[in-house]
Amino acid sequence: MDRIPILRMGDFLLVTIQVDMHDQLALTLQDDLTAAIQRTGAKGVLIDISALEMVDSFIGRMIANISRMARILDARTVVVGMRPAVAITLVELGLSLAGVDTALDVERGMRRLRDALDEAGVASADHED
Amino acid sequence: MPITKTDAVPVRTEHDIVLARQQVRKLTQELAFGLVDQTKMVTAASELARNAVIYGGGGTMRWEVLADGARRGLRLHFVDEGPGIPDLAQALTDGWTSGSGMGLGLSGAKRLVNEFELDSAPGRGTRVTVTRWK
């Protein structure tokens, strides 16, 4: 069965969606990613959707689900690279992706994850004092 | 309305949903739709194809390239012989779903096209026709 690869980069997991996903592939990614967070203890997930030419309600829901599930598993998700035409279409479709953190590109997304990790580190250090 | 080109593809499996949207992408590119218009039509097709597969038990997507004077457009008919929809107004409400979806398929697809027609009744299957003009 085909799968979308999940790469580990230090404290983060990196997923680049490069194919036009059928529904089962999207569901498999959801399962694989939550399992990978649990296995690696990753603190952040970066999902690059810059190759996606469309996001319909099914894929949108998958993205929102991953973000919420990761949150519960103590990892933060940033979705990067959404094409403007996809963003316009998503809003008209009625999907706001509420609660999903986004950034324009991979670099900004990684910075967001690192900043969040640093803040969390500072907060827990304060707490220990 | 003169139809310059037409054909039909099956929408019976999840993989057919992918093929249907690729077909629509190709047609909108041939019609030289702008990128946003292409994306809207492809997304609408994806929603309606999925409805046909999940709720209609599979069906077909017939496409027609239209020429209305200088105006060109793409019309898609999604036809299934599933259980049909008892309450059309309810089915077109955001957030209403008879299954496990988000309930954005029909209402969302309607917002992404210029013309939208829904014809369905219990036991008669469902036909959704959408058109987008360049």
pLDDT digits (tens, 9 = 90+) for A30-69: 999 999 999 999 999 999 999 999 999 999 999 999 999 9
ipTM of the complex model: 0.90
pLDDT score for A33:
97
For residue A127, what pLDDT band results from cuts at 50, 70 and 90?
low
Give me the residue from B14, B40, B50 closest to A89, CB to CB: B40
Q: Looking at the DSSP assignment, which residues form a beta bridge with residue A47?
A: A15, A79
Provide the token pair at B68. Answer: 């209305």
CB distance A33 to A63 below 8 Å? no
Give the one of A54, A89, A94 whose C-beta lies nearest to B94's C-beta. A94
- The structural domain count of chain B equals 1
Q: What are the chain A neighbours of B38 within 8 Å (beta carbons)?
A: 85
Are B6 and B65 spatial neighbours (Cβ–Cβ below 8 Å)?
A: yes
Measure B9 CA to nearest chain A CA, in Å.
17
- Whether A89 sits inside 8 A of B102 (CB atoms) is no
All domains in chain A, ordered by first residue = 6-128 (3.30.750.24)
Q: Which chain A residue lies closest to B42 (C-alpha atoms)? A: A54
Mean pLDDT, chain B, whole residue set: 92
Segments of chain B with pLDDT less than 70? 98-103
Q: Which domain holds residue B121?
A: 3-133
- SS3 assignment, position B61: strand
Q: Kindly determine whether residue B108 and residue A92, on different chains, have CB atoms separated by under 8 Å.
A: yes
Contact A23 B25 (CB under 8 A): no
What CATH number does residue B13 fall under?
3.30.565.10
